[in-house]
Amino acid sequence: MTKKIVLIPGDGIGPEVVDSAVKVLDKITAKFGHNFEYENAYAGGAAIDKFGNPLPQAELDKCNAADAVLMGALGGPKWDNLPGDQRPEAGLLRLRKGMGVYANLRPAVIFPALKESSPLKSSVIGDGLDIMIVRELIGGIYFGKRGRTGDDSAYDTMEYSAQEVKRIGDVAFKIAQKRSGRLTSVDKANVLENSRVWRKAITDYSANYPDVELSHLYVDNAAMQLVTNPGQFDVIVTGNMFGDILSDEASVITGSIGMLPSASLGDGAIGLYEPVHGSAPDIAGKGIANPLATILSAAMMLRYSFDMQAEADAIESAVDAVLNEGFRTGDIAVDKSTAIGTVEMTNKVLEKI
């Protein structure tokens, strides 16, 4: 099968980890007889440096013309003093919106081999952790009306329509159906009017999925439950900002933020795939970044955008095998003196495939 993939290496460790993922994809093409064509695009700090704009229209157009987009990470201290709408992050938000990828899937799993890396007690973790956070990605407070009302005051607005809630709800119910049949919707309906719309819309919509058991939690309670009893969660659906916060929390309790991939999907097959971690400017260029989150993001791309299940399985099993053999990059190594670098880790995965 021929597929066109746009690569956005981005900033910081982004180029290094995207490089690793491309090597893995090339191995997959050789093994399974596919043909992946790559094109590079600029976004974030790299695009500011080259074009003076964190996402020029031509770069967005390239992305929308591809079968899928694989991104490293965007941002860094170099661009921190720019006005909000010119920062690297603004480019990322425009990319998500411009691609229409409203459903952000963020799996938080504890890899059995990495159980000792979680900051939670093993009695709290129990048998392990496997949570899928479904975050609404192109609405809510990230995209609401905002502005300054003076030098020292400003506002941001959070709005959701029932239609937006049902659209993300549909994705979450379908995922819950394929997993445990349980879905937790997270909001702040005791305070926020838009959360009351959210809760009613998702409850109404649940009638279409009688086989899924829907429950609701306020976001503060959900944040607490994630560290006191994470095993109760299977699929969580929530809005843009709550999902941003809860997905960082969920990822860190797995002990392996450097390991977690994500997929952002819209109505078509095209998706945007990126690791959950950031650009880590402090270790950029040192060859020590963990490439596994981006490699696993590439696996999600094969699974969700290309429907290549065996190929995705091959990558995920290779990562499992490498971890089981004890290979670790510095971020997940218990004994840091045994840590291996980005290229070595990538080569280990290639060997296993």
Mind telling me the catalytic residues? 142, 188, 220, 244, 248
Binding of Mg ion by 244 (CB under 5 A): yes
Can you tell me the distance from the alpha carbon of 138 to that of 104, in angstroms, rounded to the nearest whole number? 9
Binding of ligand IPM by 311 (CB under 6 A): no
CB of residue 16 to ligand IPM, shortest distance in Å: 18
Neighbours of 151 (CB within 10 A): 6
Which residues of 219-336 form beta strands (DSSP E)? 235-238, 261-265, 271-275
Q: Which among ligand IPM, Mg ion, none contacts residue 140 (Cβ within 5 to 8 A by kind)?
A: none
CB of residue 238 to ligand IPM, shortest distance in Å: 13
Helices (H) and strands (E) in the chain, counts: 12, 12
Binding of ligand IPM by 136 (CB under 6 A): no
Binding of Mg ion by 274 (CB under 5 A): no
Residue 255 DSSP one-character state: T
CB of residue 171 to Mg ion, shortest distance in Å: 19
Chain CA centroid to CA 126, Å: 25
Choice from 46, 71, 92, 296 touching ligand IPM (CB under 6 A): 92
Can you tell me the distance from the alpha carbon of 237 to that of 184, in angstroms, rounded to the nearest whole number? 6
| Residue numbers 23-42 binding Mg ion by CB under 5 A | none
CB of residue 76 to Mg ion, shortest distance in Å: 15
For ligand IPM, which is the closer residue by CB, 6 or 138? Answer: 138
Angle at 173 between CA 64 and CA 302, to 5 degrees: 40
Angle at 212 between CA 208 and CA 216, to 5 degrees: 100
How many residues touch ligand IPM under the rule CB under 6 A: the total is 4
DSSP letters, 36-86, are EEEEE---THHHHHHHSSSS-HHHHHHHHTSSEEEEEE---GGGTTS-GGG
Q: Which among Mg ion, ligand IPM, none contacts residue 349 (Cβ within 5 to 8 A by kind)?
A: none
Binding of ligand IPM by 89 (CB under 6 A): yes
Can you tell me the distance from the alpha carbon of 200 to that of 93, in angstroms, rounded to the nearest whole number? 27
| Residue numbers 244-283 binding ligand IPM by CB under 6 A | 244
For Mg ion, which is the closer residue by CB, 56 or 107? Answer: 107
Residues that bind ligand IPM (CB under 6 A): 75, 89, 92, 244
Residues that bind Mg ion (CB under 5 A): 244
